[in-house]
Structure 1
């Protein structure tokens, strides 16, 4: 240990007395801070006077949510159930440059039954629904999703849905004939009031489509709409009257009245199979409800889900403050390589080996110094830019999703670890190759180029593969928003979503560095200086 500490002290003295190396560390940190604080992204939040502030509702778990849908409802006092038959689910997607909206249904379009603590956005809820391409689901309190039977729905193959409330527990069931029922699951909504709002709903998330123009991946899209056709509505339990109300929850101005312009929903009807009802044509119906006999047609747009950044979401995360990491990475990779190749170029390596004959110990000491210095510099730079960069983004009118303290700490420490381990990998490559230009070029190609290719050139599947197996996998440490399988979005690297979990990404980079260090140690033992 004493010999290692002496070698470590010697390498640290060598590093701090070389002004170019010290300057390189400062430049790397400066790039991270400078690029992160430069005015870049812009938005309209708070830029158009009072009322233009961007505020998302908050769900029962404290998370930001999207809560927008067409709702036909009435109060349910105490326990009770609601049953309905869904005979159709169709949709409209944003139009292309050559025309208006086109037929199509997004995979997570939703039509079904819902029980809510209130009509205010963000209220606790449980819903059973038919989706565009994911079958029947039970979803509750925005983040919970339970799968039912797969399939689609049509007049020839309708699907029956039922929600039953018993105290704080809401149970979802489904049926293909209204006779034989299958339980999808149950949700316990703590603190559910004695009187809730319950009924039918329809919504359809933002449509987003990845576009590859040959120079990288982009996205296009816009709001989508879904229309559900219901009949055979049946109620049991503590329903208060037969007056149904139509609200477009989350619409401008908030819920209230009948924003969709729809008529009242039908009252209770007996259960049992029957032919589909007739719905009057309403081609101009954007959102809302209309009635034809005992059949109700609802059209809605939006989602009931956690709010996420990305092509189908809103805003950005703290990761956007770290745009300078890539530039800083290039500098520390060059530094890591020349920290050893400079001694070969100047012929000083023989002196170094004479002073520290145990070559593996010397290599470990060099790795400790270059990794430690870059980690500290990266930690300070990332902490500064994540802290101050949030104010810059908000000042530019950009909506910034709040991050927990744990997420901020992980992103800051992870960025520092990414830089440090990359510098150690570059050091190992420099030890293997010994020539400065060759080592620097190889280090840049191995460490830096995969990230650049994955983010700007390669199609998404190839880019994600690269970000699983290359050192660039460690950029997953900067992901600050979870990817929800039940939330429609483009979860691609270009939008800040990586194919590996954060620490798994660091493990890939660490694996590369460990293999390179072991190879460098083996060669150091065998060859001459």
Structure 2
């Protein structure tokens, strides 16, 4: 009579067998000094290269012949660095109220490269995110909470508030024959933006709730224009970005102001204007009031500041650490083939898929632990060094920073599994290391080093294992910010976890192919 092992017993036996395999593989890893040195080297490379980078990065600004610390950018209500530079014509509003205006023109000027030396080349034009309209702002302090409804150069009507929030209205430009009416209404701590083509039929654009704003705020008209962003190409297809001076001028009339203090004297502020050494404004804004028509000219922008060093730049050593864990991941399996020990391993644990899975878990766990230690030290210490050197640091919320730290460790762990799979598949150390390094680092370097056109760089970072580097991105691509959202600037085409998933899929595919080959043939 044949005894049949109950299902639960087989499950328990499977768990016990996998646990034994894990212990066996961990014993192999920790008892080979070279492998443990390789893992420790990944930690050391992350820390040393990151801190050397931070210590050597310095920033200063000039005030004439004198070097001075660069001004700290204002921060918005959410703590992020912002640009808050515009021309504001305003009155006080104490309590509820509204402002209505008709915008009949939005024009501007752009600075282009000089054709004749010494002669400024200024041409007519409006940048896509030039903006003008009506605003309610807590105060004239830079970074103060606000809500605005506006017409833009190429993005139609928008309602924006607190720098990071943006809602689209109807598309189209304004002209004398096609004006646009704008209205902003405050009720309690809620502000509603509306638009109209004729001043009679109104369409709501959006609402904003500005909690914590005082009863007395500023309400009025504004104009701003970010710089003219241009991208130049090199002979290889790579590119460089430059931003040149631009200003916007809006013609606004039919101004109706309702609420306490309505009809008072208009104040004028060039908020955030840069000052020359003698105290005079550099590229000042201006306004003219004639017969009830306001002509307002502004320079600058009201948006998240797409500048500052992101925290992932401190992780330059992760590239070298990645190579170290790749080498260990490959050797963790190829050494057994080279020395003929694989048969002994398979006799001790005849379930070949289980053995390979145990190796993957062990090498991934070791790589993750070493990477996490290195990144957790590098980021806070490196940030302190950058701050001491006057380097502006891009704002990253705590959840984003934790994702960058843990994600970088996960990047190393998955790379180790990918390398292990290649080692088991090829069974030759040199070939597996070369393929693994090429799969991760070559696409990444090509995409981020201004070598390829933007679209080609984005394509590489979508379809190769290098997509996993997206897990390190801390920058947010705000559509209303004037910036070049390209890999060379730190922006990846896939969201962080989507890019990480692409890398995991490659690792799973390679490990699966290796397991298939292992089942068919020992050596």
Same fold by TM-score greater than 0.5: yes
Shift of 1:49: 9.5
2:248 is paired with a residue whose SS is: strand
Pairs within 5 Å for 1:483-502: 483-502=477-496
User: Are 2:354 and 1:361 aligned?
Assistant: yes
User: Are 2:506 and 1:506 aligned?
Assistant: no
Q: Structure 1 504/468 Cα, relative in aligned 2: closer, same or farther at 3 Å?
A: same
Shift of 1:374: 0.8
Query: In structure 1, what is the equivalent of residue 145 of structure 2?
Result: 124
User: Are 2:252 and 1:230 aligned?
Assistant: yes
Shift of 1:237: 3.2
Pairs within 5 Å for 1:136-215: 136-213=157-234, 214=236
Query: In structure 2, what is the equivalent of residue 324 of structure 1?
Result: 317
Pairs within 5 Å for 1:79-478: 79-98=96-115, 99-213=120-234, 214=236, 216-252=238-274, 286-308=284-306, 314-456=307-449, 457-478=451-472
Residue deviations 1:249-270 (CA, integer Å, cap 9, x gap): 122479xxx987xxxxxxxxxx
CA distance in structure 1 between the aligned counterparts of 2:33 and 2:96, rounded to whole angstroms: 76
Shift of 1:182: 2.0
Shift of 1:425: 0.6
Pairs within 5 Å for 1:20-59: 20-38=34-52, 39-44=55-60, 52=69, 54-59=71-76
Contact 2:418 2:510 in 1 (8 A): yes
Shift of 1:465: 1.8
Query: In structure 1, what is the equivalent of residue 8 of structure 2?
Result: none
Q: Structure 1 8/161 Cα, relative in aligned 2: closer, same or farther at 3 Å?
A: same
Contact 2:46 2:378 in 1 (8 A): yes
2:482 is paired with a residue whose SS is: coil
Shift of 1:513: 1.0
Shift of 1:419: 0.4
CA distance in structure 2 between the aligned counterparts of 1:191 and 1:445, rounded to whole angstroms: 53
Shift of 1:83: 1.9
1:239 is paired with a residue whose SS is: coil
Moved more, 232-241 or 386-395: 232-241
CA distance in structure 1 between the aligned counterparts of 2:209 and 2:390, rounded to whole angstroms: 39
CA distance in structure 2 between the aligned counterparts of 1:504 and 1:486, rounded to whole angstroms: 23
Q: Structure 1 285/389 Cα, relative in aligned 2: closer, same or farther at 3 Å?
A: closer
Query: In structure 1, what is the equivalent of residue 9 of structure 2?
Result: none
User: Are 2:16 and 1:2 aligned?
Assistant: yes
1:507 is paired with a residue whose SS is: helix
Shift of 1:53: 5.2
CA distance in structure 1 between the aligned counterparts of 2:191 and 2:28, rounded to whole angstroms: 68
CA distance in structure 2 between the aligned counterparts of 1:96 and 1:484, rounded to whole angstroms: 28
Query: In structure 1, what is the equivalent of residue 514 of structure 2?
Result: 520
CA distance in structure 2 between the aligned counterparts of 1:246 and 1:183, rounded to whole angstroms: 28
1:238 is paired with a residue whose SS is: coil
Shift of 1:136: 0.4
Query: In structure 2, what is the equivalent of residue 275 of structure 1?
Result: none
CA distance in structure 1 between the aligned counterparts of 2:399 and 2:189, rounded to whole angstroms: 31
User: Are 2:83 and 1:66 aligned?
Assistant: yes
2:493 is paired with a residue whose SS is: coil
Contact 2:270 2:284 in 1 (8 A): no
Contact 1:69 1:302 in 2 (8 A): yes
Shift of 1:217: 3.6
Contact 1:72 1:200 in 2 (8 A): yes
Unaligned runs of 5+ in 2: 1-14
Shift of 1:478: 1.0
Residue deviations 1:247-294 (CA, integer Å, cap 9, x gap): 01122479xxx987xxxxxxxxxxxxxxxxxxxxxxx97412123443
CA RMSD of aligned residues (A): 2.5
Moved more, 164-173 or 53-62: 53-62
Residue deviations 1:103-139 (CA, integer Å, cap 9, x gap): 3322211100111121111222111100111100111
Q: Structure 1 69/385 Cα, relative in aligned 2: closer, same or farther at 3 Å?
A: same
Contact 1:248 1:259 in 2 (8 A): no
CA distance in structure 2 between the aligned counterparts of 1:207 and 1:41, rounded to whole angstroms: 28
CA distance in structure 1 between the aligned counterparts of 2:124 and 2:426, rounded to whole angstroms: 59
2:32 maps to which of 12, 18, 21: 18
Shift of 1:215: 6.5
